[in-house]
Amino acid sequence: AEYRPAPVEGLPPFVGGAVGFFGYDLVRTVEPLGEPNPDPLGLPDMALMITDAMLVFDHLRHELTILACAFVDDEGGVDTAYERAAGTIAAMRERLRGAVPVPDRPAVAEPPQFVSNIEREAFEAKVERIVEYVRAGDAFQVVPSQRFSAPAPVEAFSVYRGLRAVNPSPYMYFLEFGDFQIAGASPEPLVKVSGNRVETRPIAGTSPRGRSEEEDRRLAERLINDPKERAEHVMLVDLGRNDLGRVCEYGSVSVDELMAVETYSHVLHIVSQVSGTLREGVGALDVLRSALPAGTLSGAPKVRAMQIIDELETVKRGSYGGAIGYLSWNGDLDTAIHIRTVVAKDGQLHVQAGGGTVADAKPAYEYNESVNKAKAVFRAVEVACEQPDWA
């Protein structure tokens, strides 16, 4: 509230504030989950950059906007704040006019081989254990995952460019945190707050893409008519309704879209949209606390599903399954779920993926689903290796 900006027509949705990620394990601050698993990556549970000046590129209109916040304080008043912001914009314009040297980097002959932190047989055994838990009534669904790692032959920003080329998604991001970087192409919002409106779009139900439009249509038809996928999706829509119901006005939560099939670079997904009106006195961080982590990355009911994940997975999830996005000075929030994303740290690239497991899950299918979800990032790394001018 201290920095709430005056509304200016025509500005982009984000006008400065905090940008970064909220990790999966932040939920431990509000739920009885105990200590996390060992953390070989050593990432913080949350990392945010406070931004007061930015370049905003509209990819549809091919327009670049330079934006700087004018903070009014007691010392200088409005005129001084305006002059500071105008000076920041002028300096940024000058930097944009300068040439940027591009270092030479030969194309990498062989892309790296990503290796999972768990053998296939062990992953499938964990799926079987989850099925036992579900049939015993502990949970309706649990989402196990595996982490793939490889030496980094290219910079993380080159992987981001590769993702833009092979896996364009509603949420594209590259975050530089000094000793680690995050680059991703997430198809799935966690939660979005605009004014007093809040929405979430659960994605649950996955099929590999076909080799032709006709095969895509056939696979989409099979996906949307699969009883297991439909039941799993409806359950997670209900979980999304419950998450929003904790922060929205009574009776305002609605399902705006139910079970549409969307096409991405390597997979087909079943998608729905749930929205509501925020209660008086509820802010964006309250919404994030209610929704994190997404049920599509944990399972349901959330707490018991996460306890089972802690038991079966061997490492802390870190940023995977958490939220990546921004909290604007005006109180708006827009976050994506950390999936289809690479973490670059200490000369290694790390990609994590999983899938929902229910009572009739087939271990081999669940393993293949998690690999298929990671393939888009693997392909982005391959493309980056083929582009020496992306250094």
* 165-199 per-position pLDDT tens digit: 988 888 999 999 999 999 999 988 999 999 899 99
pLDDT at 135: 96
Give the chain's mean pLDDT: 90
Residues of the chain with pLDDT > 90, as a percent, come to 59
Sheet strands (E) in the chain: 17-22, 46-51, 53-58, 63-68, 115-116, 141-142, 145-151, 171-176, 180-186, 189-194, 197-200, 203-208, 254-263, 267-277, 299-300, 323-328, 333-337, 341-345, 348-354
Q: Exposure of 74 by Cβ count < 10 A (0-12 exposed, 13-18 middle, 19+ buried)? A: exposed
At residue 105 the predicted structure's pLDDT band, cuts being 50, 70 and 90, is low
pLDDT at 284: 92
Residues of the chain with pLDDT > 70, as a percent, come to 95
Cα dihedral 55, 56, 61, 62 sign: positive
Q: What mean pLDDT comes out for the span 255-284?
A: 89
| Neighbour tally for 6: CB within 10 Å | 7
pLDDT at 306: 96
Q: What mean pLDDT comes out for the span 193-211?
A: 87
CA 17 to chain centre: 19
pLDDT at 104: 66
pLDDT at 334: 96
Q: What mean pLDDT comes out for the span 40-57?
A: 94
| Neighbour tally for 371: CB within 10 Å | 17
Whether the pLDDT of residue 101 is over 80: the answer is no
* 7-36 per-position pLDDT tens digit: 777 788 888 999 999 999 999 998 888 899
pLDDT at 273: 93
Q: How far is 56 from 67, CA to CA, in rounded Å?
A: 7
Q: How far is 158 from 311, CA to CA, in rounded Å?
A: 36
Q: Are 384 and 152 in contact (CB under 8 A)?
A: no
Q: How far is 160 from 376, CA to CA, in rounded Å?
A: 12
Q: How far is 130 from 190, CA to CA, in rounded Å?
A: 24
* 215-251 per-position pLDDT tens digit: 888 998 999 888 888 888 888 898 889 989 999 999 9
Segments making up each domain of the chain, as ranges? 1-16+52-101, 18-51+113-390
Whether the pLDDT of residue 291 is over 80: the answer is yes
At residue 107 the predicted structure's pLDDT band, cuts being 50, 70 and 90, is low
pLDDT at 47: 97
Q: Known catalytic residues?
A: 269, 296, 320, 340, 356
Q: How far is 298 from 305, CA to CA, in rounded Å?
A: 6
pLDDT at 109: 58
Whether the pLDDT of residue 385 is over 60: the answer is yes
The CATH architecture that domain 18-51+113-390 belongs to is: 4-Layer Sandwich (3.60)
Q: How far is 23 from 319, CA to CA, in rounded Å?
A: 4
DSSP structural state of residue 248: B
Whether the pLDDT of residue 390 is over 70: the answer is no
Whether the pLDDT of residue 325 is over 80: the answer is yes
Whether the pTM exceeds 0.85: the reply is yes
Nearest residue to 326 via CA among 203, 202, 192: 192
| Neighbour tally for 347: CB within 10 Å | 8
Q: Are 292 and 27 in contact (CB under 8 A)?
A: yes
DSSP structural state of residue 342: E
Residues with Cβ within 8 Å of residue 19, at least 6 apart in sequence:
48, 49, 51, 175, 325, 326
